[in-house]
Amino acid sequence: MKVLPTRLSGVMVIEPRRHTDDRGWFIESWDRRRYAAAGMDTDFVQDNHSLSRRGVVRGLHYQAPPRAQAKLVRCTAGRIWDVVVDIRHGSPTYGQWDAVELDAASPRMVWVPVGFAHGFAALSEQAEVQYKCSDYYAPEAAVGIRWDDPALGIPWPVREPVLSEQDRRHPCLAALPRHFTFTP
């Protein structure tokens, strides 16, 4: 597998090796030993799977400590624009974001460590996203950042976003408590 750094320290794009033959293809999407050797050492406890229609924006979500989650995100049908925001106070990239397009035709995945918010926009008629989480969903720890926070300046590639009522009500990053602190 190839591990590609992003401009956010710790966030990585993973390109698993694809084995192709007359039957189709095969990838190894998770091997704890290989991921740990690449700096992504975690135990996943929950897998989630969502279906979104074109224009849906989900996020920006994270869980506060002590229920913080690392995630491994992949698009298994359709196409998405996947966004990660650094929310670690004191980080050189605090409040900055990066995005990568994920689609079912490519096995690329995004590693989202603890200390980052995550969201995505569905670019295809339908998009399915699967992601592994290092902690269970905990409603009392669930936090969100406003998807269109002007301080973040994320240029979402959708004209008329479809949002959940909850995602519409999220505050801007500056209004949130300091849940994470950067440790060099």
94 catalytic, yes or no? Answer: no
* Catalytic residue (choose from 35, 118, 131, 170): 131
β strands within 94-168, DSSP E? 97-103, 109-112, 116-122, 126-133, 142-144
CB 65 within 8 A of CB 180: yes
- Told to judge if 49 belongs to the known catalytic residues of this protein, a careful annotator would answer no
Distance (Å, rounded) from C-alpha 128 to C-alpha 44?
A: 20
**Which among 61, 118, 170, 179 is annotated as catalytic?**
61
Both tokens of residue 39? Answer: 């700096």
Contact between 142 and 61 (Cβ < 8 Å): yes
Please identify every residue annotated as catalytic.
61, 131
